[in-house]
Each structure stands twice: as C-alpha cells, then as structure tokens.
Chains A and B, each alone.
Chain A
Amino acid sequence: MKQRSRNRLRRPALVAALATLVAAPFALGQTSTEEGIAKYREALQGGNPAELWEARGEDLWKAPAGPSKVSLEKCDLGLGPGVVKGAYAHLPRYFADADRVMDLESRLVWCRVKLQGMSEADAKKNPFGNGSEHKSDLEALVAYVTSESRGVKMNVPLSHPKEREMYAVGEKMFYYRGGTHDFACATCHGEDGKRIRLQDLPNLTTIEGAQKAYTTWPAYRVSQGEVRTFQWRLNDCFRQQRFPELVYGSDASIALTMYLARNANGAPYDGPAIKR
C-alpha cells in the first residue's frame, strides 16, 4: 500500500494542476452552500418548531392514559421514578427492572406497557408521525424528555456488563458491511468531508463528529415538517444502506445507539435541534 501511494506522488505536475482546476469551483460551491444552510439555521434559532412537539409531549407525559388511566410521571428513565431533568444524557443504560439495556424510546414503550397497561403493539404504534392527521405520540414524548436535558453533559455509563456488551455489538454493527450495496455505517461516516448530495456527513469515528451528531438528535426536519428521533435516524440510515428494516426498539437499534451515545460522552446535549 505504501509503495503505491508513493508512486502516485510522482505523477506529472499537469495532473495536479488539472485537479486543482476541477477542485476549486467545487470547493467554492460547497462553502457557499454550507454558509447558506448556516444562515438559515441562524434565522430559525429561537423559532424551532420542535418546541411545539416538546409542549405536546409534556402534556402527554402528564396526562393519564392507557387502560390503567395513569400518567407517565412515575416512569423511571434511569435517574429515579419521574425524574426527567437530565435523564436523556445518561441513556441508553441498563435497567434492572427490565433486565435489559434500553434507549429512551424503548424505555418509553416499556413505561407505557408497565405503568399505563397498554399492549406492546399499542405502545409502539405510530413511532414516526406524518402530518397532523397521523401525529406520533412517541415523537412528542421524546421531544419533551430530550428537551429537559438541554445543556447537560452526555454521560452514558459502561459499568454494567450488559452495557459493555451492547457497546461492543454496536461497534461491530457500525463497521459491518452488508446488504445489496455492501455498505457499512462506516462507509459514509468513517471519513471527514463525505457528503450525500449537499449534506455534510459527520465522521462518527471521531469524538467531535460523534458528539456533534449525537447531541443534535432528535431534530425538527424542515423538509419533513416533523420532529425525528434517533430511532428514526437509524431506521432511515438502514433504508439508505438497503439493509433489512431496523425494528423499532430492537436490541440492534439500541446497540448502535449505545455505541454512538457513549462516543458522544462529555459534550453538552443540544437537542431537539433543527435540521434541513
């Protein structure tokens, strides 16, 4: 490998000059697009429609629901029953009552089943909303809970053996190549400066990349007019990789979340954010 790259360096200067010619306008275009998106984000600061989801989620959290007619206010998100403040910064984590590592979404489903008496199917129903006729209660709940961790430093534990196991599985999945396109997460997210069309992709193998990406999900997606959760993000990445559908709240989805969340440790959580 080393020999080959040295040979490349000895190629005639003309090739290098041509490359610069091609690269220059491309680089210019990229910066102005980035600037444009940055300006757009700035204009929308303080006006993030995710707040509408946060408000609805808070109402849902406090309203009695399900066959048991109780609210989720006794739901233990890891910091004790009913503690929402800062809880998301410590997730996913191991829960002794369920004997399982859970992310926020799977924990919310668990609470809806155990506290509110819903069936598993009802508790998981409509995880990704579509317009005002098909609003997702889960997306709203997630928006509310995550907003209560804004500014809190990510601190995902790896103390329980099951947490370490989840992390290891997540790491393996991240680099696992498969599907019709022989893709891994790392194919797009393992190098700096990669893009899909005009969207810059974070390099999730670096601490900064993982921190910046993980702490800004969930997010209001302007192009969809919906708040999207981390489960949605992974689900759609799997679709783009032409992988089998990632089951909502499955161990596989939690393992990947665990891997990325843990890598984001130390950065202040900054969601729900706003994305294109």
Chain B
Amino acid sequence: MADPMKIRANLVGDSTEVKVLMAHEMETGQRKDAQGKTIPAWHITNVTATHNGKTVLSAQWGPAVAKNPFLSFKFKGGAKGEKVQVSWIDNRGDKRTDEATIA
C-alpha cells in the first residue's frame, strides 16, 4: 500500500493554502532498466481535493510530474479546525486519501 501523504493547510487571509507531499514513484514509461527492458509507466492520474465535501481542486496528472510530487494550491474560504481531504489514484488503480485540519 502507498505511504501516507503529508498535508499542511493554513488559513492565509480569506483563503486556505494547502501544501501536499505525495510518496509516489511517478515512473514515466520511457525509461529502460539495466537489462534494456522498458520500465512500465506507473504514475498518479487523478488528484482531487475536497473541503466540506465540496471539490476545490481536481487535476489530471501524467508522466511529466516528478517523483514524490509536491502540490501547493489555494482556495477561497475555509476556517480553522475544518478539514481538507486530498485523494489520488494512479494508473494501476492504487489509491490513497489523507486529510489535514486547517490551522
């Protein structure tokens, strides 16, 4: 199973700034191993972030995103103590959801 994400959510003025670190190989499918065999693509395809059940970010990712990705975004609203939930799903169907409390 995938390792947990590291999520920070901070209230800055009237918006919430969210910073997420994800543990993922993000293999492009372009590389070859020592035997010359292509290493199959393995990367996150979809990322969603929700706040109070409402989607505040929805992204489609491809092989151009780096290994162990770092994502930072802001959304209007949010209050201290409320939760932000982030989920990803990769092209093998593996998924992970974690949440953080807005500080």
Taking CB atoms, residues of chain A closer than 8 Å to B19 are: 46-47
A 222-266 contacts with B by CB, 8 A: 222, 225
Number of A-B contacts (CB under 8 A): 32
Contact B72 A47 (CB under 8 A): yes
A49 near B25: Cβ-Cβ < 8 Å: no
| Residue from B3, B4, B68 in contact with A225 in the complex, judged by beta carbons closer than 8 Å | B68
Neighbouring B residues of A49 by C-beta, 8 Å: 21, 23, 68, 70
Please tell me if the beta carbons of B21 and A52 are within 8 angstroms of each other in the complex.
yes
Which residues, 23 to 77 on B, are CB-close (under 8 Å) to A?
23-25, 66-68, 70, 72
Given the complex, which residues of B lie within 8 Å of A44, measured CB to CB? Answer: 70
Chain B hits for A222, CB < 8 A: 66
Residues of B within 8 A of A48 (CB): 21
In contact, B25 and A47 (Cβ under 8 angstroms): no
Given contacts A52-B23, A131-B25, A132-B25, contact A47 B70 (CB under 8 A): yes
A177 at the binding interface (Cβ < 8 Å) = no
- B6 interface hit (Cβ, 8 Å): yes
Interface size class of A (residues with CB under 8 A): 10 to 19
Within 8 A of B (CB), among A26-66: 44, 46-49, 51-52, 55-56
Between B4, B6, B25, the greatest number of chain A beta carbons within 10 A of the residue's beta carbon is seen for B6
Question: Do A55 and B70 have beta carbons less than 8 Å apart?
Answer: no
Q: How far apart sit A44 and B70, CA to CA, in the bound complex (Å)?
A: 8
Q: Are B25 and A55 closer than 8 Å at their CB atoms?
A: no
A132 to B22, CA, bound (A): 13
Complex Cα distance A49/B3, Å? 12
In the bound complex, do residue A52 and residue B6 qualify as a contact, i.e. CB atoms below 8 Å apart? yes
**Closest beta carbon of chain B to A125's beta carbon, Å:** 20
Q: How far is the CB of B100 from chain A (nearest CB, A)?
A: 13
Complex contacts, B25 vs chain A, CB 8 Å: 131-132, 225
- Shortest beta-carbon distance, B34 to chain A, in Å? 12
Find out whether the CB atom of B67 lies under 8 angstroms from the CB atom of A55. no
Q: Are A55 and B4 in contact (CB under 8 A)?
A: yes
The docked-state distance in angstroms from the alpha carbon of A55 to that of B72 is: 19
Q: Is the CB of A55 within 8 A of B6?
A: yes
A220's nearest neighbour on chain B, judged by CB, is B68
On chain A, the residues within 8 Å of B3 by CB distance are 52, 55-56
A225 neighbours in B (Cβ, 8 Å): 25, 67-68
Contact of B21 among A47, A131, A132 (CB under 8 A): A47
Contact A52 B70, beta carbon cutoff 8 Å: no
Closest 7 CB pairs of A and B: A47-B70, A49-B68, A225-B67, A52-B23, A51-B6, A132-B25, A51-B21
A interface residue numbers (CB < 8 A to B): 44, 46-49, 51-52, 55-56, 131-132, 222, 225
Beyond the given A49-B21, A52-B3, A222-B66, please list 16 additional residue pairs across the A-B interface where CB-CB is below 8 A.
A44-B70, A46-B8, A46-B72, A47-B19, A47-B21, A49-B23, A49-B70, A51-B21, A52-B6, A52-B23, A55-B3, A55-B6, A131-B25, A132-B24, A225-B25, A225-B68
10 contacts between A and B (CB under 8 A): A46-B19, A52-B21, A52-B23, A52-B68, A55-B3, A55-B4, A55-B6, A131-B25, A225-B25, A225-B68
